Structure 1
Amino acid sequence: MAVIIEYPDVMAARQLAVLNLPFPDLVKYSILGVSVALLLLAVAILLWQIFRCCTRTDVTQDTGDYYLASYTTPNFLVAPRTTDAGADHERRSLSTMELEEPSEEKVSGSLRFTLFYEPLPSRLVVTILQAEGLQRRSQAHRPHPFIRLRLMWQENQEAKRLKKGEGVPHALCTMLQEWHTRMVRDSCSPMFGEQFSCDLLRQEDLPGIIVRMEVKDFDEFSRHMVLGEVRVPLRHLNMCYPLELQEHLQTPQKDPVGEVLLSLKFLPTAQRLEVGLLKIRTLQTATNADTALYARIIVQCNQCKLRHQKTTAVRQCQVTVFNQVLMFSLPEFPPQECNVAISVYETDATRKHKHLVGQLTVGKDKRSENHHWTLMMRSVRQPIALWHQLLT
């Protein structure tokens, strides 16, 4: 019987023979060269990122006349403390560019109405008589006009302006009462003959009231078209007897009814947009003493309308503090066109009745870009807060 003894050197040689790959030396050296090249590329990228982090400097932002509030943490549960001087500076730093320019559409026609003030019950009576010469949408379409009547009260900023030496006062308006007349079908010169009255609490408020009458064309399937408006300030009118007036229709204008402190934060990695509603400043009157405010926010990105979100209702005061942040996931990156539309509503204690207080829009489109949006894109991952005007 023969015994075969294998020595260690022979066993190691057989293992090396098994591990040898069946490739020529040229392929082996090529794979080794590619591996070394990838390793050098990774090291170069790492060194470049380290160099960028070491040489990065903070970008100084030219805020101009805007009030820029930067927060180190995204927690808005505690309202920032501001003095009266700071609040006045914030309100003075509002952008006047946010007032929408009137459209250049042709407006024709006139409106005839009467105004009368009864001193004893402190009552204002407005009678809509007739509209004449209203324009048509087309030759085949005759308008179905009706009139929306609003009593707007404007705060008196004359004393404040003279005291502080401001060049232009920033006056806000609030709506005291709103009515609608009946609709008259197929008429360019409709007759109304409807009377509306409102009881005023103080006679001193009469000079600050503006009667705003909007003539609209009723549309059953779309938005009503505004044919024109008439504004009548009651400051210099003698209404001890019924005063009949006939005014030409003018291009509709927007009224500033409040100010909104809005915060925007962009997260490029997560493709999210954080919209923070911090404060809303409105005029406090006896008609809205027991009301609450809430906001409805809509984000439209690259012609794609995202799901709207609402804030919780907060009891209304002169400066209503919300400190609420809503998050929106953007469908595409980067956002070429993105608009944030905020609508503020006023509701009663039962939360069953509501009406629109005002709206504002922030964002960018193909033609222009909002200043707030520009600051947000310069400071990604950092909330930027600015005051905006609320228009109606």
Structure 2
Amino acid sequence: MAPIAASRDEFEEIPTIVGIFSAFGLVFTVSLFAWICCQRKSTKSNKTPPYKFVHVLKGVDIYPENLNSKKKFGTDEKQQKSKSAIPKNSLHLDLEKRDLNGNFPKTDLKVQNSLEPENFSQKHFPEKESDCVSLESITSSTSSSSVDKPDKLGTLFFSLEYNFEKKAFVVNIKEARGLPAMDEQSMTSDPYIKMTILPEKKHKVKTRVLRKTLDPAFDETFTFYGIPYNQVQDLVLHFMILSFDRFSRDDVIGEVHIPLLGIELSDGKVLMNREITKRTVKKSSGRGELLISLCYQSTTNTLTVVVLKARHLPKADISSLSDPYVKVNLYHAKKRISKKKTHVKKCTPNAVFNELFVFDIPCEGLEDISVEFLVLDSDRGSRNEVVGRLVLGASAEGTGGEHWKEICEHPRRQIAKWHMLCDG
């Protein structure tokens, strides 16, 4: 019986040993966790921030160009070299000399005006040549340079080819170079190209939009089937170069017309380039007419627009008539602020709308206000085609400007007029 009692005592000591080891383990893990947290806090406090936000001081922008961790505000070797390379006359701001409020100490900087007569020394203008320089020569040179250098809209590069096996006409739009900047803030454009085969306008294609570039490389190929080779000479290619605008109507950069008469495609691919010209908007009697009534309420500062009728609208296809409707856009300082549209009239070249729209004018007077009317052909299968366009405003030409002048001179009077539609 003695050995059995000894074994029971040993089994009773095991739980106490396990409890002691677990207590030591818990104390160790808690102390280790606390030590790790202290180390992390110390390392975070010792680290310098990757960048600092510095405001603009008296028109001098000292904000860092790239907010990278490699470019810090400190006294590195590269910064010391750059400081030594700065000339004495240039304006230099030492960021380390700022006080606690971030201000710089006052220094006696004497900046001379370049237009003062003291700066015109003999080093810049010798005595022999000083008599030759005059204001008339400067003005004549600037005026002649402005006349000799017209506004260039860039160059379009493309290639033409005819596939005799498939009886298809192939156009490859390669690139455009030297486009003007249509966005004044970023000084870039978002160009894309629309191409139409004239005179029937059956084949219409467009490229993708390339963001923020003045030298877009499209490299897109368009193949048109069912065009016999003997009819290629009678066709004209029309390229429209535009800049995409998300908030208003896309800006038209220019256009290129290519008559295919005299271009031999039997020998293979033909590489071509043409200068982009300014778009010419001509009135065309084939676009039809639109009857519009306007009334300006000076007391409530509202403009009432009534789209009455449209007549002599062209056919969308040879076989069927168009399904017209009118889209009305209100612009303030070339920015669209409101838009409306009428109902669709089915299969008619002479549509009667009789729909009224009231626009709130954001400013007093109609000097910066213009109204655009777009007559479109409704097509469920594809994108709606613009049949004609009309603009009424202070800067509009022809009947559009006359109509606008009448409603400004005679407020609270409803004035209606027929207007010829232009190419959209």
Q: TM-score, normalised by structure 1?
A: 0.51
Q: Which residue of 1 aligns with 2:295?
A: 266
Query: Secondary structure of 2:404's partner?
Result: helix
* 2:376 counterpart residue number: 345
Counterpart of 1:284? 315
Q: Provide the alpha-carbon RMSD of the alignment.
A: 4.9
Size of the aligned set, in residue pairs, is 268
More strand by share: 1
The 1:153/1:260 distance shift into structure 2, 3 A limit, reads: farther
Structure 1 pair 286/197, CA: closer, same or farther in 2 (3 Å)? farther
The secondary structure found in structure 2 opposite 1:315 is coil
Residue identity matched to 1:125: V
Q: Distance in 1 between matches of 2:245 and 2:361?
A: 34
Show CA shifts across 1:223-263 (max 9, x none): 76555432213355444454321111222333657233223
Higher alpha-carbon deviation: 257-266 or 376-385? 376-385
Contact 1:146 1:180 survives alignment (8 Å): no
Which residue of 153, 161, 180 corresponds with 2:206? 180
Structure 2 partner of 1:131: 176
Query: Is the 2:314–2:322 contact (alpha carbons within 8 Å) kept by the matching residues of 1?
Result: no
What does residue 340 of structure 2 align with?
A: 309
Indicate yes or no: 2:285 matched with 1:253. Answer: no
Shift of 1:313: 0.6
Give per-residue Cα distances to partners, 1:21-55, cap 9 Å, x unaligned: xxxxxxxxxxxxxxxxxxxxxxxxxxxxxxxxxxx
Q: Is the 8 A contact 1:146 1:181 kept in 2?
A: no
Say whether 1:230 aligns with 2:260: no
Partner of 1:213: 239
Structure 2: gaps (5+ residues): 1-148
**Structure 2 Cα separation of the partners of residues 256 and 177 of structure 1:** 23
Sort the Cα spacing of 1:253 and 1:316 in 2 relative to 1 into closer, same or farther, 3 A: farther
In structure 2, the CA distance between the partners of 1:282 and 1:123, relative to structure 1 (3 Å rule), is farther
**Partner residue, 1:373:** 404
Is 1:389 the counterpart of 2:421? The answer is yes
Is the Cα contact below 8 Å between 1:214 and 1:230 reproduced in 2? Answer: yes
Amino acid at match of 2:155: S
- Tell me whether 1:147 sits opposite 2:174 in the alignment: no
Q: How many percent of aligned residue pairs carry the same amino acid?
A: 19
Residues 235 and 346 (structure 1), Cα distance of their counterparts in 2 relative to 1, 3 Å cut = farther
1:294 alignment partner AA: Y
Q: Distance in 1 between matches of 2:217 and 2:333?
A: 46
Q: Which is further off, 207-216 or 197-206?
A: 197-206
1:256 to 1:113, Cα distance in 2 relative to 1, 3 A:
farther
Question: Does the C-alpha gap of structure 1 residues 180 and 132 become closer, same or farther in structure 2, counting only changes over 3 Å?
Answer: same
Query: Unpaired segments of 5 or more residues in structure 1?
Result: 1-103, 155-173
Partner of 1:110: 155
Mark the CA change 1:237 to 1:371 in structure 2 (over 3 Å): closer, same or farther.
farther
Cα offsets for 1:70-104 (capped at 9, x unmatched): xxxxxxxxxxxxxxxxxxxxxxxxxxxxxxxxxx9
Matched with 1:297 is 328
Q: 1:363 to 1:193 in 2, by over 3 A?
A: closer
Q: How does 1:308-327 map to 2 (within 5 A)?
A: 308-317=339-348, 319-327=349-357
Q: What is the match of residue 160 of structure 1?
A: none
Alpha-carbon distance, 1:176 to partner: 2.8
Residues 391 and 193 (structure 1 numbering): CA distance in 2 closer, same or farther, change over 3 Å? same
Q: Give CA-to-partner distance per residue, 1:125-153, whole Å, 9 cap, x none.
A: 21112333445679996857643132153
Does the CA contact (< 8 Å) of 1:145 and 1:187 recur in 2?
A: yes
The match for 1:195 among 221, 226, 241 is 221
Taking structure 2 as the reference length, the TM-score comes to 0.48
SS, match of residue 116 in structure 1: strand
- Change over 3 Å in CA distance of 1:370–1:144 after alignment to 2: closer
Question: In structure 2, do the counterparts of structure 1 residues 199 and 213 end up closer, same or farther at CA, with 3 Å as the change threshold?
Answer: same
- CA 1:310–1:220 in 2, change beyond 3 Å: closer, same or farther? closer
Structure 1 pair 239–203 and aligned structure 2 pair: CA distance change class (3 A): closer
Q: Distance in 2 between matches of 1:183 and 1:332?
A: 33
Instruction: Supply the distance in 1 between the matched residues of 2:416 and 2:234 (Cα, whole angstroms).
Output: 35
Structure 1 residue 349: Cα displacement: 4.1
Higher relative contact order (CA 8 A, sep 6+): 1
In structure 2, relative to structure 1, the CA distance for the partners of 1:245 and 1:302 (3 Å cut) is: closer
Alignment-mate amino acid for residue 391 of structure 2: T
Q: Secondary structure at the match of 2:202?
A: strand
| AA in 2 matched with 1:149 | K
Structure 1 residue 111, shift from structure 2 partner: 1.7
Cα distance between partner residues in 1 of 2:361 and 2:225: 51
Separation (CA, whole Å) in 1 of partners of 2:212 and 2:388: 31
Listed one character per residue, the Cα deviations across residues 156-209 of structure 1 (whole Å, up to 9, x for unaligned) are xxxxxxxxxxxxxxxxxx743332334556765554332112346788986664
Provide closer, same or farther for how the CA distance between residues 130 and 303 of structure 1 changes in structure 2, counting only shifts above 3 A. Answer: closer
The code of the aligned residue for 2:329 comes to: I
Instruction: Give distance in 2, aligned partners of 1:382 and 1:287.
Output: 38
Q: 1:358 to 1:206 in 2, by over 3 A?
A: farther
